[in-house]
Structure 1
């Protein structure tokens, strides 16, 4: 058992990393997953056992919905005991949403789940996809004293590993597409991959992996701006079946102090809405 090869499951959902450019038109169309692996023969040099699962139809990440998160979590749960780590290839637009959702859905996680993708398709000469995929695999396989080095859901992009639920997309143009404004990177890749162990979530090692798939999408986000009409806020608060509202406010959490605004918010609270103020 001690000589068992490290096994990694690669899950392909879609996204730019899996697109191929037509040189005559410049348009993009989806690759099949085997073509992606053929573009990165270097991963065979790891000597790991690789398996793959792909969504029947690649999904543009702007079309990702909670059922796709449930499908992803189910794939991980179903294969959990067979693999040392998981790499999810995903489009960048909603990668941070998926990573955050999975971090709460996969309770008692003790193995790495690394999401990555690229800004350029993997068959483009200057693609960032190869490095992102290779380093994601290495991190997913990394162990310290026989245990996963990073037993949590993460995003790896452009030489940095971030906690999945503390990350956001910052650029559609640059290779460093993601950032974690209020939490340090968990690892940085240079000549070596340097892990920030003091920030990495420790696995308790107790309890089986548990899926939390009861997702309620009856929420709304209201971005406060100067001159926002109170009736806009009221219309959102009064949506039938709404469970929660996230208010994106100014500065350190400031919002209009006029009575009409406060009455509408107060009315929402009295109706049982959860109202969260973020800035």
Structure 2
């Protein structure tokens, strides 16, 4: 399929991945960008979508494919999906496309739209609020909107650095806003994401928390608990009150992408988090 070289960056369970590991991948791609036509990254499935989002956000001017893949069944098992996914990742990495992608089972998913949807199915990843970038069958089909390869610019620009001290909170019936107000006293927390109901609906009583968070310059992003949901917080009063009190709307993005954007933005443009989201 292709000539290749191998570099080991972090031989760890992906559950243990840290933002510093994303930086290592970024530096490795930048250092070798001129030497290769594409890059394939093998990665554990648990945090693969986070890494794909991080690379999508932190690489500017990418004109080649960067493909992440892995397996649901360990590679040493005879029934493993590892070989098939790896072969298909190489097939995609030599195509006339550019961007960060996850190649898994029959899907080619844009890195910034991927989310792990199953812990056991071989079709483990889904594209959130966007169609797949392509399909793997006997032939590989790429959607027309996927960007083509480009030699300009000849080098990429990377923006490493992610703030790891964020907090993700999932609403449940009866949750007390005082629990979150207590967290405002923890100066280690630099940003928060609230997984709200439906279209981004927040129970009455959280307005004081949002106002205090804004006074502390602590960005609080609201997203939907629905896997394929989006926030439309202006639709209902419970959403409008949160917006008026300082909540930042997460729109149609996956939790993985929102986490990475918040982490990256806190490092590089903390005053522009809302526009970044």
TM-score class normalised by the smaller sequence? 0.7 to 0.9
Aligned to 1:49: 3
Aligned to 2:94: 141
Equivalent residue for 2:73, pick from 120, 127, 132: 120
TM-score, normalization: structure 2?
0.77
User: Per-residue deviation at 1:204?
Assistant: 6.7
SS at match of 1:91: coil
* Deviation beyond 6 Å, 4+ runs, structure 1: none
SS at match of 2:73: coil
Is the CA contact (8 Å cut-off) linking 1:90 and 1:117 kept in structure 2?
yes
Asked if 1:79 corresponds to 2:32, the answer is yes
Aligned to 1:275: 220
Equivalent residue for 1:221, pick from 155, 161, 168: 168
Aligned to 1:252: 199
Deviates more, 1:247-256 or 1:119-128: 119-128
Relative to 1, partners in 2 of residues 1:221 and 1:122: Cα closer, same or farther, differing over 3 Å? same
Q: Distance in 1 between matches of 2:65 and 2:23?
A: 18
Q: Distance in 2 between matches of 1:168 and 1:238?
A: 32
Higher fraction of strand:
1
Q: Distance in 2 between matches of 1:101 and 1:246?
A: 17
RMSD: 1.5
Aligned to 1:25: none
Asked if 1:177 corresponds to 2:130, the answer is no
Is the CA contact (8 Å cut-off) linking 2:23 and 2:161 kept in structure 1?
no
Which sections of structure 1, spanning at least 5 residues, go unmatched?
A: 1-45, 144-148
Q: Distance in 2 between matches of 1:277 and 1:202?
A: 34
Is the CA contact (8 Å cut-off) linking 1:221 and 1:245 kept in structure 2?
yes
5 Å-filtered alignment, 1:196-215, equals 196-198=143-145, 200-201=146-147, 206-207=152-153, 208-215=155-162
Asked if 1:188 corresponds to 2:143, the answer is no
Q: Deviations over 1:91-137 (max 9, x none)?
A: 00000001101111111111110000001122322111111000100
Matched positions, count: 223
Asked if 1:238 corresponds to 2:185, the answer is yes
Asked if 1:66 corresponds to 2:19, the answer is yes
User: Per-residue deviation at 1:266?
Assistant: 1.0
Relative to 1, partners in 2 of residues 1:103 and 1:251: Cα closer, same or farther, differing over 3 Å? same
Asked if 1:102 corresponds to 2:49, the answer is no
Relative to 1, partners in 2 of residues 1:209 and 1:162: Cα closer, same or farther, differing over 3 Å? same
Q: Deviations over 1:63-107 (max 9, x none)?
A: 000010000111111111000000000000000001101111111
Aligned to 1:160: 107
User: Per-residue deviation at 1:237?
Assistant: 2.6
Equivalent residue for 1:265, pick from 210, 216, 222: 210
Q: Distance in 2 between matches of 1:235 and 1:129?
A: 45
